[in-house]
């Protein structure tokens, strides 16, 4: 059997209990070496065979899985963050389906949430934004035109932009052209939840320069959000005059 496991954003304690258990039981581990914290591999059995997918093609990854399956071994495919977000697991699952190999998926803490924790911010403030857009700038992997940053910017919502910090100039230009004010707050979190994480605070007008000065070119989340610096209405849920299923109004 193959387990696709979300490793979390970096801090090795942010993997789920189930993910950690499966990792400690696996005979074969294929991990995304460019982003997964290698400290997690300390959980593996001493005799486990460990492969770094950063240097492998899809076919090579699949062949390791097929081979393990033939020998009745258990494989963990360890992806950074949550496997469902830019994890390229669809093609692996399709291939396993074709071979009728059984697999499951163990979710993980995605880096956009690791970044929120590092920033100590809420992405959804009443009256400010109630929507989080997860997206990226197009690159070698194209993004459908209807989802361009420029189009998405029209919502003025919270936006978490993956895989794009090396194109920060293009990103801010598109966002401003698309409708965010230049003063919209932006935070860039490099290696959120890792020991050497770095946070830059700014706005759409000045963040690109800060990113260049800090020489951040990968493993970073761009968080654009009016919520990062907003005066907001406290949540209705905890208001004293608000009744709901579990609590009568107290005034
Ligand atoms: N599946 C992963 C994303 C993989 S794509 C997840 O759920 O987080 C890789 C991109 O994720 C990076 O380019 C970067 O934008 C982001 N990323 C991954 N780990 C990160 C971290 N610790 N801090 C900030 N961004 C991170």
Q: How far is the CA of 114 from the centre of ligand 1 (A)?
A: 9
Q: What is the mean pLDDT of residues 161-188?
A: 97
Share the mean pLDDT of the chain.
95
Does 51 score more than 90 pLDDT?
yes
234 compared with 172, residue with greater pLDDT: 172
Q: How far is the CA of 174 from the centre of ligand 1 (A)?
A: 21
Does 251 score more than 80 pLDDT?
no
pLDDT band per the 50, 70, 90 thresholds, residue 149: very high
pLDDT band per the 50, 70, 90 thresholds, residue 236: confident
In this prediction, residue 241 carries a pLDDT of 82
Per-residue tokens: 240: 């004293």
Residue 183: which residues within 8 A CB-CB, separation 6 or more? 203, 204, 205
Q: What is the mean pLDDT of residues 72-93?
A: 97
Of all residues in the chain, what percent carry a pLDDT higher than 90? 89
Question: What distance in Å separates the CA atoms of residue 4 and residue 107, rounded to the nearest whole number?
Answer: 8
Question: What distance in Å separates the CA atoms of residue 19 and residue 89, rounded to the nearest whole number?
Answer: 16
3-state secondary structure of 113: helix
Enumerate residues lining ligand 1, CB below 6 A: 9-10, 35, 79-82, 85-87, 110-111, 114-115, 162-163, 189, 191-194, 219-221
3-state secondary structure of 88: coil
In this prediction, residue 250 carries a pLDDT of 80
Per-residue tokens: 163: 């895989």
Per-residue tokens: 5: 């496991």
In this prediction, residue 58 carries a pLDDT of 97
Question: What distance in Å separates the CA atoms of residue 22 and residue 106, rounded to the nearest whole number?
Answer: 9
In this prediction, residue 240 carries a pLDDT of 81
**Rg (Cα) of the chain, in Å, rounded?**
21
pLDDT in tens, 222-233: 999 999 998 877
The answer to whether 230 and 127 have CB atoms below 8 angstroms apart is no
pLDDT in tens, 176-196: 999 999 999 999 999 999 999
In this prediction, residue 233 carries a pLDDT of 77
CA dihedral (226, 227, 231, 235) positive or negative: positive
Which of 115, 221, 222 is the best mutation target for the ligand 1 pocket, counting ligand atoms within 8 Å of the beta carbon and taking the most?
A: 221
Does 239 score more than 90 pLDDT?
no
Question: What distance in Å separates the CA atoms of residue 171 and residue 160, rounded to the nearest whole number?
Answer: 12
Which residue segments constitute the domains of the chain, with CATH numbers given?
2-106 (3.40.1010.10), 111-228 (3.30.950.10)
């Amino acid at each position: 059997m193959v387990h696709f496991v979300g490793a979390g954003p970096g801090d090795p304690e942010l993997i789920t209990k189930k993910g950690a258990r499966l990792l400690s039981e696996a005979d074969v581990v294929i991990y995304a070496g460019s982003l997964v914290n290698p400290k997690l591999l300390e959980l593996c059995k001493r005799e486990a065979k460990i492969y770094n997918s950063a240097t492998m093609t899809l076919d090579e990854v699949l062949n390791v899985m097929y081979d393990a399956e033939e020998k009745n071994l258990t494989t963990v495919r360890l992806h950074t963050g949550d496997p469902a977000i830019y994890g390229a697991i669809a093609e692996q699952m399709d291939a396993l389906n074709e071979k009728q190999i059984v697999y499951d998926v163990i979710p993980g803490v995605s880096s956009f949430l690791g970044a929120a924790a590092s920033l100590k911010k809420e992405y959804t403030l009443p009256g400010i934004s109630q929507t989080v857009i997860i997206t990226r700038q197009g690159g070698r992997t194209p993004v459908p035109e209807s989802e361009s940053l420029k189009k998405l910017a029209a919502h003025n919502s919270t936006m978490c932009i993956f895989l794009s910090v090396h194109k920060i100039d293009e990103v801010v230009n598109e966002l401003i052209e698309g409708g965010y004010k230049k003063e919209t707050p932006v935070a860039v979190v490099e290696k959120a939840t890792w020991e050497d994480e770095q946070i830059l605070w700014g706005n759409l007008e000045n963040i690109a320069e800060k990113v260049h000065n800090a020489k951040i070119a990968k493993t970073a989340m761009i968080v654009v959000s009016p919520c990062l610096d907003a005066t907001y209405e406290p949540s209705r849920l905890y208001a004293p005059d608000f009744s709901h299923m579990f609590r009568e109004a107290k005034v």
